[in-house]
Amino acid sequence: MSATLIVGILPLPPRAEARDLRLALFGCSLLCVLVWMTVSVRSRRVGGVGLDKSIRPARRPSRSLPVLLAVLLPLASGAALVQAVGPDGEQGRWVSEVYAAGGGVHEVPIERVVSEPWPTGVNVNDVDEYAADVVVTLPFDDGSRRTTVRGARTLGVPGEGDTVTVLYAPGRPGLGGRYHDSGFINGGLALLWIWVVAFFVAVFACGLYDRAEVHAARRFRGDVHGVAALVLCLGVLLLLPGAFFQTPTWAGWLLALVSACTPWLALTWVIKRL
């Protein structure tokens, strides 16, 4: 489950391999949950006392499990929110098609600048960033083609010979190529905020959970953990539209926010019922 959440919170490109990895890890997590439920139910049915065993004093519950819970909960919420970060609408569909066709990001030289460069307002190491429409040659599988890339960004005023990053699929010339924004402003800033908030919530929550209560919740109870599992499944289902279809930006964030709340709702339900 920890590996599933870590992969879920990473900004992986929308390739089929990344989606398959997430689905495989989720399947493993689901299998572990089913094994935990089965073992808990079977252990409850096994009674009896071993008379030949010496009675040991009760040990204080370990602190590791509450700490793990404090880390995994914000990590789960963060992983849900990360799914809403990225291109949406027509741009999102195009990016998905490019990656599905085996495309990627390539550095290509500028052959000609066809528009007046304009400043983007970004400054890196005292150098202003500019954007412009430029002509580049992309080496597709069936031959090289000249393509106009709109809004390509460079540090300093772009000129012939400067390089820009272009996303395209060599095997699908019909898709063309577009400037690839590595995107700290567009997406990286949102990811940074998600990671920072998840980290501080995890640090704060490490001292909140009572050891005895957390360990008491380890044994599965259908009327308690069953409902919590349904709430968590609802959170996963809310993320599926964004994973398999292109949703509007507002819809993607709304579904991700509701999904991010489900781990805390499930925990609240378990605490109130035990």
β-pair partners for 127: 124
Q: Which residues contact 165 (CB under 8 A, 6 or more apart)?
A: 105, 106, 107, 179, 180, 182
One digit per residue, pLDDT tens: the chain, 274 residues?
667 776 667 766 656 666 677 777 777 877 877 777 777 666 655 554 444 555 555 556 567 778 888 888 888 898 888 887 766 667 777 887 888 788 888 999 999 999 999 998 888 888 899 999 999 999 998 889 999 999 999 989 999 989 999 999 998 988 889 998 754 445 567 778 888 888 888 888 776 777 777 777 777 777 888 888 889 889 888 888 876 676 777 788 899 899 999 999 988 888 888 7
State how far the Cα of 133 lies from the Cα of 151, in Å rounded to an integer. Answer: 5
pTM summary value: 0.62
Exposure string for 28-67, b = 16+ CB within 10 A, e = fewer? eeeeeeeeebeeeeeeeeeeeeeeeeeeeeeeebeeeebb
- The number of residues in the chain equals 274
Cα→Cα distances 164→46, 65, 105, 117, Å? 67, 48, 10, 14
Phi then psi for residue 5, to 5 deg, are: -70, -35
- The 10 Å Cβ neighbour count of residue 3 is 11
Tokens encoding 88: 């949406």
Name the CA radius of gyration of the chain, rounded. Answer: 25
State how far the Cα of 186 lies from the Cα of 173, in Å rounded to an integer. Answer: 27
**What is the residue type of 95?**
V
